[in-house]
Structure 1
Amino acid sequence: MSRLDSMLRRFTAQRDGLNWAAKLVESHAGDGLDMGLGNGRTYDHMRETMPDRRIWVMDRVLQCHPSCVPPELDFLQGEAEEGLARLVEMDAKIVLAHYDFGYGVKEEDVAEAARLSPLIAKIMVRGGMIVSGQPLAGFDQVEGPDHIAPDRYYFYRT
């Protein structure tokens, strides 16, 4: 598979998985969380998909497209542990989270996801959903939409 085809497959899985998860949590209270703002595409999609929810955003630096800059109060800049700890301190209630942190080295990315999982668990509401590009630890993995390969994206119910 070409890198372009792989990227398209990932973006489609991400979008379809977020849409699917957002429907599952429609009746639950809580905010959204995008872990790894990057260019802002996912954040932009989450705010469009969940217009009545606050969407928290975390990243080391703010370098997204100008149309995707989150409100200052909703952006947690810095290392992931710091941002998650701030959400815990604020008693944030997250109903839908998207996990997209990573360095691009699979072993490091998987280790970081496992290390951050307990902090993520502290802010998730019961019945919430996590859509993740990396395997997380300590959550109940569920099958996502049928057309998304199980190793392409991971889905967790909290």
Structure 2
Amino acid sequence: MSRLESMRRRLEAQIDGLNWAAETIRDVAGDVLEMGLGNGRTYDHLRQELPNRRIWVIDRVLQPHPSCVPPEENFLQGEADAMLAELAQRGTRMALAHYDFGFGVKEKDVEEGAKLSPLIAPLMVPGGLIVSQQPLTGFTQVSGPDTIDPERYLFYRS
């Protein structure tokens, strides 16, 4: 499979997974957390699918497409561990979190996910969902939509 085909597969899985998660948490109270803004495509999709939810965003830098800049009061810039701790101190609770951090090196990505998992856990409401490309720890893994290879995207319930 070419890298281009792999990217298409990843984007299709991401869209299907986020749509499934948004529908699944419709009746679960809480905010949404986008961990890793990047160009803002996923954030933009979450805004579309969950227009009445507050969407918090964490990233080291703010450099999305101009149409995808989150409101200043919802953007936390800095290292993930410090920003997750800040959200916990505020008492913020999430019905849905999308974990999109990554270095592109599998071993480093797995290590980072394990390190950040205990900081994500206190933010989640009971029954909340986490959608992630990386394995996380301390959550119950659940099956996502049938259209997604279970190795491509991971789904967790808090």
TM-score with structure 2 setting the length: 0.99
Give 1:62-77 correspondences, 5 Å limit.
Answer: 62-77=62-77
Deviation at 1:77, TM superposition (A): 0.3
Q: Does 1:40 align with 2:40?
A: yes
Tell me the residue number matched to 1:126: 126
Report SS of the residue matched to 1:27: coil
Deviations 1:63-112 (A, max 9, x none): 10000000000000000001100100000110000001011111000000
What letter matches 1:2 in structure 2?
A: S
* % identical equivalent positions: 67
1:156 matched to 2:156? The reply is yes
What does 1:75-114 align with in structure 2 at a 5 Å threshold?
A: 75-114=75-114
SS for the counterpart of 2:110 is helix
| Alignment correspondent of 2:3 | 3
1:29 Cα offset (Å):
0.6
- Between the aligned partners of 1:110 and 1:5, the Cα distance in structure 2 is 24
Structure 2 unaligned regions, length at least 5 = none
Query: What is the Cα deviation at residue 38 of structure 1?
Result: 0.2
Report deviation, 1:61. 0.2
Structure 2: how far apart are the matches of 1:92 and 1:133? 23
Cα distance in 2 for partners of 1:106, 1:35 equals 18
Hey, what does 2:141 align to over in structure 1? 141
**How many aligned positions are there?**
158
Native 8 Å contact 2:31 2:93 kept in 1: yes
Q: Distance in 2 between matches of 1:138 and 1:42?
A: 24
TM-score (norm 1): 0.99
Aligned to 1:22: 22
Counterpart CA distance in 2 for 1:96 and 1:8 is 24
Task: Please give the alpha-carbon distance, in whole angstroms, between the structure 1 residues aligned to 2:147 and 2:53.
Answer: 27
1:147, distance to aligned residue in structure 2 (A): 1.4
Secondary structure of the residue aligned to 1:52 is coil
The alignment yields a C-alpha RMSD, in angstroms, of 0.5
**CA displacement 1:10-52 (0-9 Å, x = unmatched):** 1111111010011111001100010000000000000110000
